[in-house]
Structure 1
Amino acid sequence: MTTKKLISLFLLITSFNFYFSQDVVIKDDKVLLDGKQILKAEKINSGQYSFYTMKDDEEILMYKFMDNETPRYMDDDFYILNFLTEKTKIESTDFSKIANIFNSKKGMEKLVKWLLKERVINNEGELNSDRVQIFKEKYDQNITERTFR
């Protein structure tokens, strides 16, 4: 292939990625998907967020960062996703899906994108019970039950 064809193919693939990606922004305690509000967000502190439905203002998800009581040792840090209405808790040390060191709001935007991609939350901000269970099976590391205190 020639260089022009390779560049054209790369630009075509990149444009599809931008075209099909969803824009998630948290602004003024509103979670906006492509400009439309789908959830309400509340920042409790830099390590804890809550998300509420638009329909009845019910808290459906709480994100919480845990340093495992070792603030200077970061290898045992994890986060909890508590799907409150589903009574499902997910604990994980894999921060790659939501990591944003200097801006917790950007991390929560990445979290919502991840949940949309996994179809845990639909475009209306509603939880899918079946997908929550699949999400748990895929990502839960069950850290507190494996930790000695």
Structure 2
Amino acid sequence: MTRKILTLFVLILGLHSYFSQDVVIKDDRVLLDGKQILKAEKINVAQYSFFSMADDEEILLYRYMDNETSKYFDDDYYVLNFLTEKIKIESSDFTKIFNIMNSRKGMEKLIKWLLKERVINQDGVLNPDRLAIFKEKYDENITERTLR
């Protein structure tokens, strides 16, 4: 019985290692398992841009929005603007990307999420079909619902 449990544990650990991907942003480069797939630019604490390797075109702009209430955090959200596809996603669910101590780590989590959802592939290329599904799943359309 113990041997079966140990074998199952090793198998699960091996599968986790096989499917987990190491995403690192270092020196304005997005590295997936050591291979550069995108270029990154930190504009400020609340904004990041990601660029294609093929043509250096900006494909994604991340923006943190405080909804003009800097001391009230419950209405904060973020915008993922996929510029080349003209698709904007607004969400208040920070669980997938937020890292309170380090915005770079948060952006690494964002890239992992986009890879997992197959919005971008292993070469950093956008998949328009998967992006449409991603929008349907996660877009909360906050701007349209907010009275100003």
Q: Which amino acid aligns with 1:86?
A: E
1:29 Cα deviation from its structure 2 partner? 0.1
What do residues 109-147 of structure 1 show as CA deviations (whole Å, max 9, x unaligned)? 000010011110011111111111110000000001000
- Matched with 2:104 is 105
- Matched with 2:37 is 38
1:39 Cα deviation from its structure 2 partner? 0.3
- Matched with 1:50 is 49
Partners of 2:71 and 2:8 in 1: CA distance: 47
Q: Which amino acid aligns with 1:145?
A: E
1:13 Cα deviation from its structure 2 partner? 1.0
Q: Which amino acid aligns with 2:99?
A: N
Partners of 1:74 and 1:7 in 2: CA distance: 45
- Using structure 2 for the length normalisation, give the TM-score: 0.95
Q: List gaps (5 residues or longer) in structure 1.
A: none
- Matched with 2:58 is 59
1:13 alignment partner, SS class: helix
* Matching of residues 1-149 of structure 1 within 5 Å: 1-2=1-2, 5-149=4-148
Q: Which amino acid aligns with 2:132?
A: Q
Partners of 1:115 and 1:83 in 2: CA distance: 12
1:92 Cα deviation from its structure 2 partner? 0.2
Aligned length: 148
Q: Which amino acid aligns with 1:104?
A: S
Partners of 1:61 and 1:69 in 2: CA distance: 23
1:9 alignment partner, SS class: helix
- Using structure 1 for the length normalisation, give the TM-score: 0.95
2:49 alignment partner, SS class: strand
1:8 Cα deviation from its structure 2 partner? 4.2
Identity of matched residues, %: 74
Runs (4+) of structure 1 exceeding 4 A deviation are none
Q: Which amino acid aligns with 1:37?
A: Q
Q: Which amino acid aligns with 2:63?
A: K
2:50 alignment partner, SS class: strand
Partners of 1:110 and 1:123 in 2: CA distance: 15
